[in-house]
């Protein structure tokens, strides 16, 4: 996956988790939780989806790396490159 594809994947996962929110104007360089209502349990849903779909483990210490779409793509790209 390219970084753009990873961002699309994360967006698609978020859309499932918070289906009432409009994600069309989500800025990729601003923390996601500052733009939409996404609480800590929702965030854990993202972690769980990455685990279930791609077998990717994100350790708790790295959760901050998933703050924005850009930082998520940068952090996940090395692990999702081959997917």
**Number of residues engaging another protein in binding (CB under 8 A):** 11
20 near another protein, rule: CB under 8 A: yes
Of 30, 48, 74, 83, the one binding another protein (CB under 8 A) is 48
Of 19 and 78, nearer to another protein (C-beta) is 19
Cα angle at 21 between 73 and 5, to 5 degrees?
25
- The CA distances from residue 2 to 17, 21, 38, 47, 78, in Å, are 23, 25, 25, 19, 10
Of 19, 22, 59, 60, the one binding another protein (CB under 8 A) is 19
């Amino acid at each position: 996956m390219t970084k753009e594809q990873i961002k699309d994947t994360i967006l698609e996962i978020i859309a499932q988790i918070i289906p009432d929110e409009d994600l069309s104007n989500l800025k990729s360089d601003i923390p996601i939780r500052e733009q939409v209502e996404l609480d800590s349990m929702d965030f854990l849903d993202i972690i769980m989806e990455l685990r279930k779909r791609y077998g990717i483990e994100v350790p708790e210490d790295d959760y901050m790396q998933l703050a924005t779409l850009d930082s998520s793509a940068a952090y996940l790209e090395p692990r999702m490159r081959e997917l």
